[in-house]
Amino acid sequence: MLYQSLIQPQDLNALLNGQSRSVKLLDASCVLPSSPINPRAEFDKAHIKGAQFFDIDDIADHTTDLPHMLPSADDFENSVSALGISNADTIVIYGQDGIIMGPARAWWMFRAFGHDNVCILDGGLPAWKDEGYSTTYISSAAETGTFKATQNQALITNMNGIKRQIGRALIMDARPPARFAGTEPEPRAGLKMGNIPTSVNIPASSLVNESKSLKSKEELKSIFAAYSIDKNTQLIATCGSGVTACVIAFALFNIGINNVSIYDGSWAQWGQP
């Protein structure tokens, strides 16, 4: 079954109980550099049965100092295949703390490499637990899959691309307001403060509920209505390092707008002195 974006805990439970081998679960949690939390260690303590850990810092371009940049298509193929994933699989991604930190990034990565049969568990692991579903600490060995990546360049923007689009595209910054305004320092040391010229601030936190689940379609449409987006609007999302920018892309996808490009380097690149 193809889930276009969100899947609710009850639907995921039904899928897993149906013994569908084509469903692959990934915990894609990540944290800010200043956080004391180790998502991999937390995964080892408790995860949904059958899940694998998707590490955006490991499945990344290691030839650059920029954090968790997209890897090459070959490296993505090898990493994802090692997680037991093939192109025929339905991929369900979740986070240990809702959808913001990691899951939306992993969702975008799969789409950027041509795999659209991917969705996010709404509310993440907390929502799963709230419904009374169990977790385990036992790791599942993954059989090697066969995944072929085809990069969708329309979903990716680099520094040169965003420079060309300043004043033309709607550049949406998902960072918290204080960081966007330059009144609060970045969590990564050494970066300038401020924002990309002509960009607007749409904090990722404004797109989710207190439970860290995605806001309703009506609420999302209301948020984005202020920007008069139509089918001809060039859309670019950015943030601190390309993680929460994907929450903007995910929110817009859920209201029928699927052409958002992510500035992969984001402020980690733009804000360098």
| Residues 113, 151 contacting (CB under 8 angstroms) | yes
Helices (H) and strands (E) in the chain, counts: 10, 10
Q: How many domains does the chain have?
A: 2
Question: pLDDT tens digits, residue range 94-145?
Answer: 999 999 999 999 999 999 999 999 999 999 999 999 999 999 999 887 889 9
**Are residues 67 and 173 both part of a single domain?**
no
Which position has the token pair 């490499």? Answer: 113
Under 8 Å between Cβ of 120 and 6:
yes
pTM: 0.96
What's 119's domain CATH number? 3.40.250.10
Residue 87: what pLDDT?
96
pLDDT 10s digits, 186-203 = 999 999 999 999 999 999
Q: Which residues, other chains included, contact 232 with Cβ-Cβ below 8 Å and sequence gap of 6+?
A: none
Please name the helix (run of DSSP H) or strand (run of DSSP E) that holds residue 127, with its range, or none. Answer: helix 124-130
CB burial of residue 235 (10 Å; 0-12, 13-18, 19+):
buried
The one-letter amino acid at 183: T
Residues 58 and 163 in one domain: no
- Cα 36 to Cα 65: distance, rounded to the nearest angstrom: 22
Distance CA 251, CA 142 (A): 31
Catalytic residues: 239
Mean per-residue pLDDT for 138-157?
A: 92
Domain of 98, in residue numbers: 6-151
